[in-house]
Structure 1
């Protein structure tokens, strides 16, 4: 018997003796317990214990008569049964452990993430775990990479709201185009991304530096709440600008430039975060 076949069966929850007995029966059956022991190399003192274990799992069948004989279930049927049982186990584990999902995550920690792809992987995870609402502020470049996950969330009934820098079209979401995208990109010297899922976790960081991009993920409510509310207030401002732009620009200049100057500590308006 080839060692690799034995290893495969061990990965399917066979002991070494069980694997040898089952493979022997696949090669020739029906066989008596004595014949299985002789052909497989399983000690005679262990063979009936091994065969009983296989029979209890349904991996082999016993023909009852004057002399018991054993036959294996076909390999395809064995694999199918294992797959079904594994799926049932995963579903049961998922349901049973769901209550521990939140407590298992340390709500007091802030986790650093480095690298553009690594940041987006975490954002995808947050999007797909959301059950009620996703607020996300991002540029069109990152939207292209997250579109599939955002749509999948929306299809599940999650409300997706996007604060969009650049042209983003998503008929599955509430999209609020930020009409100062060019100015803001220039002022900050790069692109950021902020995502809030169900008011319970956030990912926020700079995503335009390739492998040097950096972000933080946290469930710490001391950060989740203010970061989420800043995004909500961005939405307030965008709604207000939509209805009262002329009046506001009369007071604060085009695209509220005077406000941006007032609250910038740099004369050139450059934020110098990157």
Structure 2
């Protein structure tokens, strides 16, 4: 019966009130002395407790000598709790909607901590997409998303994957370099993952050896930049394949990647102009 006392306390009764109501339920109507004995509440306290139960509607006082107390039937108590909480939930829902309608969701940037949380949020975005899913990730990080990606495709969503390595399953439109992940790791120690749903919400994360970092946002500027980054990656891949052919045959190391990129940029007439480096640049000490 300790669980009943705890539940009644969760519903707003004090411990003594819960014990007294429980004692009334055990043996039915009783006077204050009897309830004191059954509940373990001292006689100096029990009458104040019973008066509060009557005031709150948990008990009825029968005018007799001595006064006899009867519990509110359990079915009526449960009905009252249910009606009260349903009413409160409705008021809470209405109030929250009124407040939320005035918020600017575009300004929100939520942090994502850890690999599991990153994958969980990526799955949520894919499941929530209504039109299009765009993913940029390493092949090994696409694997935990494959069920959601296949379900999205089967539901008629456009699914687009970009990958510097190789995606080990087929779904939607896949654009991949096909490089071994150990080669990519020489260029980028962090594994970048980006998932965009309907170009409205995006997850952007870095999976690092020391710590995983990520954000989820509906800020249109950030989401558009992320999606456009994937578009440019796809166009760049197409241009490289057109000029070079099988990238996996030409690129065996991280240095090969830099050399191939520079050669292709030179072939396109961009060699004389500065371009962003495809790998992190070491910053001299003191700068």
Q: Same fold (TM over 0.5)?
A: yes
Q: Which secondary structure does the structure 2 equivalent of 1:163 belong to?
A: strand
Is the contact between residue 33 and residue 47 of structure 1 (CA under 8 Å) also seen in structure 2? no
State the alpha-carbon separation in 2 of the partners of residues 159 and 44 from structure 1.
67
Quote the offset at 1:175 in angstroms. Answer: 4.1
Quote the offset at 1:194 in angstroms. Answer: 0.5
State the alpha-carbon separation in 2 of the partners of residues 36 and 150 from structure 1.
67
- Over residues 84-117 of structure 1, what are the superposed CA-to-partner deviations in whole Å (9 max), with x where a residue is unaligned? 9868966875676356557657644655555433
Q: Which residue of 2 aligns with 1:260?
A: 261
| CA separation of 1:186 and 1:86: change in aligned 2, threshold 3 A | same
| CA separation of 1:130 and 1:25: change in aligned 2, threshold 3 A | farther
Q: Which residue of 2 aligns with 1:30?
A: 28
Is the contact between residue 29 and residue 70 of structure 1 (CA under 8 Å) also seen in structure 2? no
Is the contact between residue 24 and residue 70 of structure 2 (CA under 8 Å) also seen in structure 1? no
State the alpha-carbon separation in 2 of the partners of residues 131 and 94 from structure 1.
25
1:83-94 → structure 2 map (5 Å cutoff): 93=92
Q: Which residue of 2 aligns with 1:70?
A: 71
Structure 2's unaligned 5+ residue stretches are 248-256, 283-287
| CA separation of 1:9 and 1:113: change in aligned 2, threshold 3 A | same
RMSD: 5.0
Q: Which residue of 2 aligns with 1:145?
A: 144
State the alpha-carbon separation in 2 of the partners of residues 90 and 155 from structure 1.
37
Quote the offset at 1:15 in angstroms. Answer: 3.3
Structure 1's unaligned 5+ residue stretches are none
State the alpha-carbon separation in 2 of the partners of residues 83 and 99 from structure 1.
24
Structure 1 range deviating more: 126-135 or 189-198: 126-135
Quote the offset at 1:163 in angstroms. Answer: 0.5
Instruction: Verify: 1:192 aligned to 2:183, yes or no.
Output: no
1:197-212 → structure 2 map (5 Å cutoff): 197-207=197-207, 209-212=208-211
- Over residues 7-38 of structure 1, what are the superposed CA-to-partner deviations in whole Å (9 max), with x where a residue is unaligned? 44322443334312332134x23214646753
State the alpha-carbon separation in 2 of the partners of residues 43 and 156 from structure 1.
66
Pick the structure with greater CA Rg.
2
State the alpha-carbon separation in 2 of the partners of residues 199 and 95 from structure 1.
29
Q: Which secondary structure does the structure 2 equivalent of 1:43 belong to?
A: helix
State the alpha-carbon separation in 1 of the partners of residues 234 and 149 from structure 2.
19
Q: How many residues align?
A: 251
State the alpha-carbon separation in 2 of the partners of residues 189 and 116 from structure 1.
17
